[in-house]
Amino acid sequence: MVNNEAFVCAITPQQMQQILQQQVLSPQQLQLLLQQQQALMLQQQQLQEFYKKQQEDLHLQLLQQRHAGKPSKEVTQIMAQQMAIQQQLLSIQQQHLLNLQRQGLLSVPSALTSTLAQGLIPAELQQLWKETADARQEEKRRGDKSPSPPKTQILNHHSSTNGHHVHRPSRRDSSQESRSQGAHPLYSHGVCKWPGCDAVFGDFQSFLKHLNSEHALDDKSTAQCRVQMQVVQQLELQLAKDKERLQAMMAHLHVKSTEPKPAPQPVNLVSNLTLAKATIPKTSPSMSLSQSATAPSTPLTSLPQMPSVIIPTSLHSMGPIRKRYSDKYNIAMDQDIVQNKEFYLSAEVRPPFTYAALIRQAILESPEKQLTLNEIYNWFTRTFVYFRRNAATWKNAVRHNLSLHKCFVRVENVKGAVWTVDELEFQKRRPQKITGSPLVKNIQSSLGQNPTLSSLQAAMVDSSLPLYGSASMGASSLKALASALHEDMSSHDHDEGSHSDSSLELSPVPTL
């Protein structure tokens, strides 16, 4: 909704016409695209709705659980289902992307991208669709007797040329008619597949007529087209995000399958590799890890089927089999949390950071750079599903750390006390050894990769990377990061394989 206006002002219909005429999108491509996107959108929306519902359930359960102590079976089950749904979504988005790739439509006019990059959540998209559809219906009701221009406020009335239904023998039309009838992407099973239309036609000719009259190149169609482009863009963004998450998950679960690896993303450079290093267990519970790891990851490999419900029996009960980021990764850690926020939010994985680092992160994320103990707790549970269980244990640890480390300063307040971070003290905690080979470009690319920089993320970046934000840290930190990156690079330069995601299949939508 917030984005609505920004989006509305983003392009004028003239620009859209330009875009269309420049054949950045040819009519055929566009139509095919529209149709496919719509179908997939529907699928996605269903999934996402269910996902949302479940999350609410989960939240309730967790609230109860907080009082009851032990987590219930339902909770873990729901979590598992959520993972499954995530993967479904990923598949759908993958399909989207493939469609786009096939049509050579991956590049969206740059005028769009900046505003689109903010992204819309599906609900908003749905709303957009609804609005344009409604506007359309309304106009239909009025019929032809009132030739008033479209009422959608979002549009500038720029053209009076097609206020009436004039058949324009344009390039577009001729190319349309040259298509074979059965293959028209906007006509399927006797129904007009224009977004929000669904008009029924007995034969193809009347459909074509309808298409030329109802969906001519006017403000409304342009707007709808614009929405569709936004949909596509949003899906691409979503796909990118989910891909990233998948990567992190696979790295974490240590999947050594024949699955070709996704492109190495600078964002995940540190986190993935560190995670990979960290997940080689030596002690007995390793079996349970790899066992449980196979379940969620199976659908990602070549197996087409995925279980609708995964029970991660032992996914979380692994105790101390994990490694932390060594402290020289402190700076990179900020990146990891940001980039894998969703990952930690959907997988019950212990974040590879020390309590102290996490607490600091929590505090630095707050607008005032100060939190009460309870707020710190909340940050933990909010940010990591892992910390929604065994509350007594980690809360104790949090308190312990707060007291133990000099870097955490308690500040008396009017109402109680808050905790703050003495950044100097935090950095001082250990000498950062440096073997610097500057890899600033990596830092840059990872930062540039952040299309939706929330205030939270901005704060984190700001506080952790002096190059791009406040100059709160010295050059030593940067060098430490550089060396960290360098280490990971050199120790993993061999597994940089080619990648292709085409093996991902569109899983059937589960009957939920």
Partner DNA sequence: CCCCGTTTAAACAATT
Partner DNA sequence: TAATTGTTTAAACGGG
Stretch of 117-125, 148-156, 301-309, 395-403 contacting DNA, by CB under 7 A: 395-403
Do the beta carbons of residue 373 and residue 402 sit within 8 Å?
yes
Residues with Cβ within 8 Å of 469's Cβ and at least 6 positions away in sequence, in order, are 461, 462, 463
Stretch of 117-125, 187-195, 295-303, 315-323 contacting DNA, by CB under 7 A: 315-323
Q: Is residue 10 near DNA by the rule CB under 7 A?
A: no
Minimum gap (Å) between residue 400 Cβ and DNA: 4
**C-alpha to C-alpha distance for 474 and 351, rounded to whole angstroms:** 26
Stretch of 82-90, 128-136, 251-259, 398-406 contacting DNA, by CB under 7 A: 398-406
Nearest to 184, CA basis, from 208, 200, 163: 208
Minimum gap (Å) between residue 275 Cβ and DNA: 14
Residue whose CB is less far from DNA, 217 or 421: 421
Q: What are phi and psi of 471, to 5 degrees?
A: -90, 70
Minimum gap (Å) between residue 432 Cβ and DNA: 12
Q: 222: which 2 tokens?
A: 């342009």
Helix (H) or strand (E) holding 192: strand 191-192
Q: Is residue 6 near DNA by the rule CB under 7 A?
A: no
* 359-378 binders of DNA (CB under 7 A): 372-374, 377
Give the burial class of 329: count Cβ atoms within 10 A of its Cβ; 0-12 exposed, 13-18 middle, 19 or more buried.
buried
Q: Is residue 492 near DNA by the rule CB under 7 A?
A: no
Instruction: Choose which of 430, 437, 495, 502 interacts with DNA (CB under 7 A).
Output: 430
Minimum gap (Å) between residue 442 Cβ and DNA: 21
Q: Is residue 399 near DNA by the rule CB under 7 A?
A: yes
Q: Is residue 402 near DNA by the rule CB under 7 A?
A: yes
Give one DSSP letter per residue of 30-72, joined into a string: HHHHHHHHHHHHHHHHHHHHHHHHHHHHHHHHHHHHHHHSSPP
Minimum gap (Å) between residue 446 Cβ and DNA: 23
Q: Which residues pair with 191 in a beta bridge?
A: 188, 200
The full length of the chain comes to 512
Q: Is residue 405 near DNA by the rule CB under 7 A?
A: yes
Minimum gap (Å) between residue 483 Cβ and DNA: 13
**C-alpha to C-alpha distance for 260 and 246, rounded to whole angstroms:** 13
How many alpha carbons lie under 13 Å from residue 426 in its C-beta half-sphere? 29
Q: Is residue 77 near DNA by the rule CB under 7 A?
A: no
3-class DSSP state of 144: coil
Number of residues that bind DNA (CB under 7 A): 33
Q: Which residues pair with 200 in a beta bridge?
A: 191
Instruction: Choose which of 320, 367, 471, 494 interacts with DNA (CB under 7 A).
Output: 320
Nearest to 408, CA basis, from 380, 370, 378, 375: 370
Do the beta carbons of residue 85 and residue 47 sit within 8 Å?
yes
Residue whose CB is less far from DNA, 63 or 106: 63
Stretch of 135-143, 292-300, 387-395, 460-468 contacting DNA, by CB under 7 A: 387-395
The contact pattern for DNA, residues 177-216, with x = CB under 7 A and - = no contact, is ----------------------------------------
**C-alpha to C-alpha distance for 444 and 430, rounded to whole angstroms:** 26
Nearest to 217, CA basis, from 257, 163, 279: 163
Instruction: Choose which of 225, 293, 419, 457 interacts with DNA (CB under 7 A).
Output: 419
Residue whose CB is less far from DNA, 62 or 300: 62
Residue whose CB is less far from DNA, 158 or 399: 399
User: How would you label 28-47 residue by residue, b for 16+ Cβ within 10 Å and e otherwise?
Assistant: bbbbbbbbbbbebbebbbeb
Minimum gap (Å) between residue 380 Cβ and DNA: 11
Judged by the rule CB under 7 A, the positions of this chain that interact with DNA are 283, 319-320, 323-324, 326-327, 353-356, 372-374, 377, 390, 393-394, 396-397, 399-405, 410, 416-417, 419, 429-430
